[in-house]
Structure 1
Amino acid sequence: MGVVNVNKQNSKYRWVVFASVLFAYFIIVSQRTAPGLISDQLMKDFNMTASMIGLLTSIQFLAYAGLQIPIGILSDRFGPNYFLIFGTLLNGVGTFIYSIAPNEYILLVARLLVGMGDAAIWVNLVLILSIWFKVNEFVGLLGLAGMTGSFGFLLATVPFSKWISDFGWRPPFLTTGVILCFIGILLYFILVKIPQRHAENELKAKVKAVKRRENTVVLLRRIFSNRQAWATFCCHFGAVGTYVGFIGSWAVPYGMHVFGMSRSGASQLIMVGLIGAIIGAPAGSWISGRLHSIKRPYIAFHVMICLSWTAFLLFSGKPPYFLLNILFFLIGFGNGASALTFAVVRQSFPMKEVGVVSGFANTGGFISAVLLPSIFGKVLDHYHAAPSSVGYHYGFIIPVIFTLVGFMGGLLIKEQRQEMRQTELGTN
């Protein structure tokens, strides 16, 4: 695959690939949190319980987390293009079904389809960038991809909310589902049909690769015993799960119950975190490039995130308002900088393993995102008779512990010399 990759990495067409893949990612990410805007309407329209609303959210992220490693293995073996296309189409179909669902059971199936489709996106995005771009371009482009994801989350706040307010909840989801299906078709032409002039060379490379395929059990055993793979898992566990888990579940109730904010006022805390993530993704990549190191800045970012969560503990769950906004910004910044996890993967593993290790690392982040809201909720239930700040005070111990896991992951990273890896990976 070396010759094919070099040709792709020197072509101007790679920027068309980059733009189209990022646009798909932008729309797909918006649909991770957009259903949260209509929870009250779903409860009213379908007479649903809060538990059912929670199940709608959790089934999507559980499907996402559970499929990361299988998707990584399959993408490494058969290439990322069709998996990215299929994931986008599955997202579109799931979102479309969601928009016309007659009952809560169809809603549940729709969110399961969306979670399954979403599971195929990031890992294959990383693989496609690995194939089309050189190692020295890769870190910066990952930062832009991370920023694009944050803009996707931003789309699912005020703009999508306004759309729902003006037209009801069904038309926006129906339109988004149709758009995603069209994007999937467009990706087929951009990723498969147009580059067909390389097909013969790629086919020969794949035929050779088949002979070198490793037994899946042996591959997984080696990955699960690899220090660098666990370092990336822990880094993502600490940086991503604490942000996504808290922002997506308890941030708004925290602002309302502890600070007496309105719902819209508390939502601004999420906006502050999103702005931090938008800045953190390219800034983290830029700092890493300037220092010619991934490990040093990444450790610093994990320290920053851990200290930010610790500040909530030191102020008994209620820091001064000006500091509150700074803390949300810093936590969001650290989440944006978590794109460095996949820069470590790209730098440390041969191309034939980048997909499965990326999936393994990404699993860490979303396991954390599933665990944190649940454990945090149990702490709040335990202190339900006490003032609100007491429950949140003790609840903040959880993200502190989780971010310590991320910090340990940063320490475990074994940095590779960039020049040596470029030479080595270019031969794979």
Structure 2
Amino acid sequence: MDKRNSKLRWVIFASVLFTYLVMASQRTAPGLITDQLMTDFSITASMVGLITSIQFFVYTGLQVPMGILADRYGPHFFLIIGAALTGIGTIIYSLSAHEFVLFFARILTGIGDATIWVNMVLVLAQWFNKKEFTRLIGFAGMTGSLGFLMATVPFSGLIVFLGWRGAFLSAGVCLCLCSIFLYFILVQKSKQTIIVKNKGQNEKTWFLLRRIFSNRQAWALFFCHFGLVGGYIGFIGSWAVPYLMDVHGMTRLDASQLIMISLIGALMGAPLIGWVSSYLNAIKRPYILFHIIVLLCWSTFLLFTEPPPLIVIYLLFFIIGFGFGANSLTFAVVRLTFPLKESGIVTGFANTGGFLSAVLLPFIFGMILDNFQTVSGSLSGGYYYGFITPVIFALLGLIGVMSIKEKEQGTGYKAQE
């Protein structure tokens, strides 16, 4: 089958993105029921935080191993199994009767979730040419942001209608059905074997890792993803609502609605930036531009010794979200500058940078707030110093993207060692 001229590729594109949409929503959906978990299971806030965050630790730790496995055996098997594991973990979560079962369920969900991005990128790379891939990877990034958006008002409504157990049970069953459908189209319909040994991958894993980890281009991609993803996911997903409540006196509902402005920016930015990059037949220049814009936005928070006007906050949150949409260009660079047989491990390595920063930023930001509260007894002023963290992260991202080597060769690019 000629994959890149087959009509089936659009069915695959839609089904893989829908699966990613549902899986992405389950990354942050547990945050909607924090108070209910504390009541139902009689557990502390710190325990709930541990249960919620364990998925991100598992996800981050498995990115490079998943890239190695995907390169060696092909992405189909892991994409199908990942959707099933996430679904089963979500079902177990909905049926849990003890906090340790909740913890196990989130670990299982994290293992499944760790498969989706690396293998989705490889599947799209196999079915679409390089120019199409650069445009479509933006839509893939938009799908992740749409999943985060689903985990706000829509999933809250489902929780109200079905109860939190019914809502998570429904999401888990949906993912299991997605796994079955992916098997049908990726294996049965396209006549592919479920595990394909990559005959070109004869290199021992240790030597492959050493070569990738010593590659300047790989580290540039690691840091450009580190700088863009951590500030957005790390801050928006942890300290944005408390910041708006403590500093600007907003209610929780008003603060959550403002967060949606940032999500809308990300939804708009991802496909538009991908289209612009494809139209210009260039990645590095637009990527540098959006890194600079995001760095300036985070730096703006440090220009105000008093709380910034709300109109400024709305504008900054929207632009930061819009700039976050550019993160999909990281994987467009991977696709265009590394051999397809190594795309999985490099994708996993770059994605590790993004989610490592998303794990580190809330922790560092919280340490700064705790220290400030110890000194002055108030959190409000501590946020000012806390914003130094995303500024430093964004600066590292800018250094990373400026270090990318891009050499045009027709419609493609060649990495420089």
> How much has 1:50 moved relative to structure 2?
1.3
Deviation string 1:300-341 (CA, Å, 9 cap, x unpaired) is 111111111101111136211101011001111111110000
Separation (CA, whole Å) in 1 of partners of 2:115 and 2:379: 39
> How much has 1:54 moved relative to structure 2?
1.3
Deviation string 1:115-153 (CA, Å, 9 cap, x unpaired) is 110000000000000000000100110011111111111
Tell me the residue number matched to 2:392.
401
1:419–1:195 CA distance, 2 compared to 1 (3 A): same
Name the amino acid aligned to 1:23: F
Q: Residue 130 of structure 2: which of 123, 135, 146 is its match?
A: 135
Deviation string 1:334-392 (CA, Å, 9 cap, x unpaired) is 11110000001001000000000000000001100000001101111111135433100
Name the amino acid aligned to 1:265: D
Give the TM-score normalised by structure 2. Answer: 0.96
Separation (CA, whole Å) in 2 of partners of 1:312 and 1:318: 9
Name the amino acid aligned to 1:53: V
Separation (CA, whole Å) in 2 of partners of 1:316 and 1:361: 35
> How much has 1:224 moved relative to structure 2?
0.5
Contact 2:87 2:174 in 1 (8 A): yes
Tell me the residue number matched to 1:338.
327
Tell me the residue number matched to 2:155.
160
2:107 counterpart SS class: helix
Aligned pairs for 1:336-415 (under 5 A) are: 336-384=325-373, 385-415=376-406
> How much has 1:212 moved relative to structure 2?
4.7
Tell me the residue number matched to 1:75.
70
Contact 2:71 2:345 in 1 (8 A): yes
Confirm whether residue 17 of structure 1 aligns to residue 12 of structure 2: yes
> How much has 1:416 moved relative to structure 2?
2.9
Name the amino acid aligned to 2:91: F
Separation (CA, whole Å) in 1 of partners of 2:350 and 2:133: 17
Separation (CA, whole Å) in 2 of partners of 1:109 and 1:317: 44
Aligned-residue CA RMSD (Å): 1.6
Q: Residue 292 of structure 1: which of 256, 262, 281 is its match?
A: 281
1:120 counterpart SS class: helix
Q: Residue 94 of structure 1: which of 89, 98, 105 is its match?
A: 89
> How much has 1:69 moved relative to structure 2?
0.4
Contact 1:347 1:416 in 2 (8 A): no
1:128–1:315 CA distance, 2 compared to 1 (3 A): same
Name the amino acid aligned to 1:407: L
Tell me the residue number matched to 1:311.
300
Tell me the residue number matched to 1:108.
103
Confirm whether residue 43 of structure 1 aligns to residue 38 of structure 2: yes
Separation (CA, whole Å) in 1 of partners of 2:385 and 2:306: 8
Q: Stretches of 4+ moved more than 6 A in 1?
A: none
Confirm whether residue 61 of structure 1 aligns to residue 52 of structure 2: no
Contact 2:130 2:411 in 1 (8 A): no
> How much has 1:290 moved relative to structure 2?
2.4
> How much has 1:12 moved relative to structure 2?
1.0
> How much has 1:211 moved relative to structure 2?
6.1
> How much has 1:232 moved relative to structure 2?
0.8
Percent identity over the alignment is 60
Contact 2:71 2:201 in 1 (8 A): no
2:62 counterpart SS class: helix
Aligned pairs for 1:222-237 (under 5 A) are: 222-237=211-226
1:338 counterpart SS class: helix
Separation (CA, whole Å) in 2 of partners of 1:166 and 1:178: 17
Aligned residues: 413
1:414 counterpart SS class: coil
Give the TM-score normalised by structure 1. Answer: 0.94
